[in-house]
Structure 1
Amino acid sequence: MRKKIAAQFIVSNVATLANFALTVILARILTPSDVGIFSMSAVLIGVAHVFRDFGVTAYLKQEKDLTERTLSGAIGLLFLCSFIAFLIMFASAPYWVSFYREPDVEQVVKVLALGFLLIPFGAIPQALLMREMDVRRSALVTGVSTVIYFFASVGFALAGAKHMTMAWANLVNIIVSGVAYNYVLPERLRWIPSFHGWKKILGFGSGNLVSALMKTADAALPDVMLGRLSNAFNVGLFSRANSTVNIVGMVIHPTVYFFAVPYLAKTHHAQGRLSNEYLKSASIVNSLMLPAFVWVAIAAQEIVMILYGSQWQGAVNAIPWLSLMAGSATVFLMAGYAVTGIGKPHAVIAPLAIALAAKVFAVMALFNGTMVSFSMALAVGQMCSIPFFLWVIVRYLSVDVSAWIVSTVKPSLVWIPVGIVYFYLHDTAMVDWHGLAKILIGGAAYVAAILLGYMLIDIPIRDEIRRVFVGVGLIKGDK
């Protein structure tokens, strides 16, 4: 499992690096308004994607006994949901123009909606590969689709596609991914849809649908509200600030997403209890991601100016608050995967709904037209959901509260003081350094201090760090 995780981490981060390079390139070609128009359109499609999938792919990943008849039923349900989602989004595209007061939204929505007709051809084989945690075949598809998407995006941008750049590139990527996933499958799929097992799939899918809808609405909320309360330019700035914070997630999430549900589902089927595995996996994820959010918040100015240029300067002040929001959500990142793995995706609906509602109320109360006030409101809203997520892991995963507190607090005994020292040095000793030097040298020192600190305390990630250090010859293994 460790070898598979390491391989997937490398593969996903090569793809992440390519997509990040693409973001930097497009930031130099496209304007904030171009990005804002696409972002406003993409959030609508994101919501529709939840209905299109209806939890079918998640069901395939966690189902204990997957028969050919059950798979046929899943294919039939996914095709039906995808076709309905396409019709609704394509037909409603003109109405979103009046909502956003932006005429270019219609064309973007229509092109993105076309992808719904093709996505099932890649989604089903992808879910089957993830179910078996087949890193090698998935990596091949990831590599091919990443390269095609990169050059398609740059090509459309240079050709003057403007706000349509990502829409057309996305459609090309869907086609390529669908062909590639079917090509690498060990056995050819029989694309024969049926009604078999729909009752069971719909039972699981209804809970997954609502929880996924909450997550998608939460991701879409900033662009929708800011697009309504402000303009496409500010939506573009916010999108760039948010994508800067999401660099952390881009590094970790693909690997977590690939393994979490199938691995936790298999553990649940074998042991019937997930509390210990949940605490261990959550501690490792938090140990990696939370200090990374701290670094992004401190180095926001340098990151934005070096990667995107001065036209995105307005995004800087929002990044610390968005880092706080992302960190608050990360603490319970594994909870959603864990309850899905035990077949109860509905368990996180309440805390997700509370977070969403709290963000809406906070924005209405705190937003004064600035990016800082908007981002602050989102962070406040996210933190309101923490007690409710804690209740979920206690209720459904049988996690002991005191054990959770210890597991969560222990790593912070390292990254909080290191973060404070780094913040002080960043604004004093490194104040006259070139931005690139701050990022590379300061960032390397920050990471080294964090890793050294983790080696000194008894937390799950310590054993994983030790294994890596032994593997690369930095320290000697136990005899």
Structure 2
Amino acid sequence: MPADTAIKRNLGIAFVTQYTDLFIQFVGVMILARIITSEEIGIYSVAAFLMALLHVFRDFGVTKYLIQEPELTPEKIRSALGAAILLAWAVALVLFSLRHPVARFYDEPRLADIMAVMSISFAVTPFGSVVNAIYRRDMAMRKVATVQIGSGLFATIVSTILALNGFGAMTLAWSNLAGISMYGVIAALLRGPGIPLLPRFRDLRDILRFGSIASLGSLANVAGNNSHDVIIGKMLSLEATGYFSRGNGFVQIFKNLISGAVGPLVLPYFSALRHQSSDMVQPYRAAIIYITGVAWPFFGALAVLALPIVRTFYGPNWDTSVPLVQILCAAGALSMLTMFAGDVMIANGHVKAVTKLQLLTQPVRVAAILAASTFGLAQVAAATVLAEAAAFALLSPLLHRTTGITVRHVLGATLRSTLVTGFTVAGPLLVMLFDSGSGYPLVDAILGGLGALAGWLAGVFWCRHPIRDHLLQARLWLSARILSRS
């Protein structure tokens, strides 16, 4: 199969996976938002921050090592699994030991029980993550899809049952454990004969050397990107954390929907380009063109329709999240300019540059959020926007030095996407102008969404955005399939 055809097929599978997984998550979120309180979600969000922070040490760059390693043998896989198990169990012990001090710090006893369950989640994670990393390396997207959808569906079912039975904040912890466990079970069942399940605890030096550099940057990245939950929880309240978490969750929809599909292919794709000694500038520009051509219109429409969308999915009790969604959409749009930069630099052999970048940008992010938290939630959201702008400014020189990609390359790739965004938000603006009271939020959300879709299509074709060619190809393919069946 030609390389372009294989990439398009894998992207198609990845997008279907993400759409399905997002639908499953949405159903779960809509149910939980009407059963679990904002305070309970805030409690879990604080614990989830600690889990995300320690997750860096649990993974320690093992999955990235497996993906970028030029010659991956069964023995290296066994060593990677051994390293992952040792690290995960050590981190699980740390998390379990910290449960009572953290609960006392926030004066919230429920945090201790949540962290105890999370420590079990850490212990079982390596058995799925290592196998799935190999599926990603081989771009076996059907297996990746089965693992992701199957585990997500199981976690949603568990969370719904537990929430309806009054488990409160513990619902999210137990459902997370259920999803991770199912993730490992499905990944193991799908593995081929060349993927061993028995670990080896020798020859770990190369893995740990790579991981020590990669993990330092990842640690800074996770700490910075998730710092708002722990800072808001301490400086304001756990209820405020819940509102911010829900508002930020809407903005993260795009990353779950688009970058979650494309992201697993980025490092393997650019690693292959490096092995072929191919230029990375044009492929990177193309990635920016396509991602902003979808992301920026999405964020624009979401900012305009924030009120009816939040009320439709969460109910009027969550209106406090509406202005946060609108501000955070600007941060989401800016983050698209740097989304793939780290993977591209790692693929080009500059993992140290990625670490340096995170050590520069994330302290700025944390400081901005900490200072803003003394004023209120909206100011924290605004600080997130400023932090994304600072990240882009600090990233650009490093990206140019390591890959040859300049600011001009990146910003030049966004011109048509900017115009398409203007077309997209026109319809939602008209809907909100004539019904700003949102007496029927579902109607407003649907009409605004349809208007956004129509505007996006008009913008893509009028501006001759490169996405247009793919839409035309999809139409021809669909017409051919319909004719073949008639």
TM-score (norm 2): 0.92
Residue equivalent to 1:275:
281
Residue equivalent to 1:215:
221
The code of the aligned residue for 2:433 comes to T
Question: Equivalent of 1:160, from 150, 160, 166?
Answer: 166
Residue equivalent to 1:198:
204
Q: Does 1:227 align with 2:233?
A: yes
Residue equivalent to 2:410:
404
Q: Does 1:449 align with 2:464?
A: no
User: Take 1:343 and 1:234, find their aligned partners in 2: how far apart are those partners?
Assistant: 41
Bigger drift between 432-441 and 151-160 goes to 432-441
Deviation at 1:417, TM superposition (A): 5.5
Deviation at 1:459, TM superposition (A): 4.2
The code of the aligned residue for 1:71 comes to I
Bigger drift between 450-459 and 254-263 goes to 450-459
Bigger drift between 349-358 and 377-386 goes to 349-358
8 Å CA contact 2:22–2:257 kept in 1: the answer is: yes
- Residues 360/189 of structure 1: CA separation in 2 closer, same or farther (3 Å cut): closer
The code of the aligned residue for 2:60 comes to F
Overall identity of the aligned pairs, in %? 26
Residue equivalent to 2:269:
263
User: Take 1:402 and 1:230, find their aligned partners in 2: how far apart are those partners?
Assistant: 41
8 Å CA contact 1:207–1:344 kept in 2: the answer is: no
8 Å CA contact 1:34–1:163 kept in 2: the answer is: yes
Alignment gaps of 5+ in structure 2: 1-6, 481-486
Question: Equivalent of 2:364, from 350, 354, 358?
Answer: 358
Bigger drift between 365-374 and 253-262 goes to 365-374
- Residues 432/38 of structure 1: CA separation in 2 closer, same or farther (3 Å cut): closer
- Residues 240/191 of structure 1: CA separation in 2 closer, same or farther (3 Å cut): same
8 Å CA contact 1:367–1:377 kept in 2: the answer is: no
Q: How does 1:69-108 map to 2 (within 5 A)?
A: 69-108=75-114
Q: Does 1:125 align with 2:131?
A: yes
Deviation at 1:362, TM superposition (A): 2.4
Residue equivalent to 1:334:
340
Bigger drift between 266-275 and 283-292 goes to 266-275
**1:179-219 deviations in whole A, cap 9, x for unaligned?**
11110112264334335543322232122202211221123
The code of the aligned residue for 2:462 comes to L
Deviation at 1:428, TM superposition (A): 2.1
Residue equivalent to 2:434:
429
Q: Does 1:240 align with 2:246?
A: yes
Bigger drift between 189-198 and 306-315 goes to 189-198
Deviation at 1:241, TM superposition (A): 0.6
Residue equivalent to 1:57:
63
Aligned with 1:162: secondary structure? coil
User: Take 1:125 and 1:403, find their aligned partners in 2: how far apart are those partners?
Assistant: 36
Deviation at 1:52, TM superposition (A): 0.5
The code of the aligned residue for 2:297 comes to P
Aligned with 2:34: secondary structure? helix
User: Take 2:236 and 2:49, find their aligned partners in 1: how far apart are those partners?
Assistant: 16
8 Å CA contact 2:68–2:267 kept in 1: the answer is: yes
- Residues 369/405 of structure 1: CA separation in 2 closer, same or farther (3 Å cut): closer
8 Å CA contact 1:33–1:232 kept in 2: the answer is: yes
Residue equivalent to 2:11:
5
8 Å CA contact 1:407–1:459 kept in 2: the answer is: no
Q: How does 1:435-474 map to 2 (within 5 A)?
A: 435-473=441-479
User: Take 1:95 and 1:432, find their aligned partners in 2: how far apart are those partners?
Assistant: 46
**1:428-479 deviations in whole A, cap 9, x for unaligned?**
23446632222222222222222222223354333223222332349xxxxx
User: Take 2:216 and 2:167, find their aligned partners in 1: how far apart are those partners?
Assistant: 35
User: Take 2:194 and 2:164, find their aligned partners in 1: how far apart are those partners?
Assistant: 38
User: Take 2:364 and 2:210, find their aligned partners in 1: how far apart are those partners?
Assistant: 27
User: Take 2:123 and 2:406, find their aligned partners in 1: how far apart are those partners?
Assistant: 45
Residue equivalent to 1:181:
187
8 Å CA contact 1:304–1:312 kept in 2: the answer is: yes
- Residues 459/350 of structure 1: CA separation in 2 closer, same or farther (3 Å cut): farther
**1:20-48 deviations in whole A, cap 9, x for unaligned?**
11011000111111111111111101111
Residue equivalent to 1:142:
148
Q: How does 1:16-31 map to 2 (within 5 A)?
A: 16-31=22-37
**1:243-285 deviations in whole A, cap 9, x for unaligned?**
1111222211221122111122112211343111111112211
Q: Number of residue pairs matched?
A: 473
8 Å CA contact 1:204–1:344 kept in 2: the answer is: no
8 Å CA contact 1:72–1:193 kept in 2: the answer is: yes
The code of the aligned residue for 2:366 comes to V
Deviation at 1:345, TM superposition (A): 2.8
The code of the aligned residue for 1:392 comes to L
User: Take 2:69 and 2:198, find their aligned partners in 1: how far apart are those partners?
Assistant: 20
Deviation at 1:423, TM superposition (A): 5.9
User: Take 1:317 and 1:305, find their aligned partners in 2: how far apart are those partners?
Assistant: 13
8 Å CA contact 2:159–2:171 kept in 1: the answer is: yes
Residue equivalent to 1:477:
none
The code of the aligned residue for 1:15 comes to D
Alignment gaps of 5+ in structure 1: 475-479
User: Take 1:64 and 1:112, find their aligned partners in 2: how far apart are those partners?
Assistant: 34
Residue equivalent to 2:394:
388
User: Take 1:349 and 1:286, find their aligned partners in 2: how far apart are those partners?
Assistant: 25
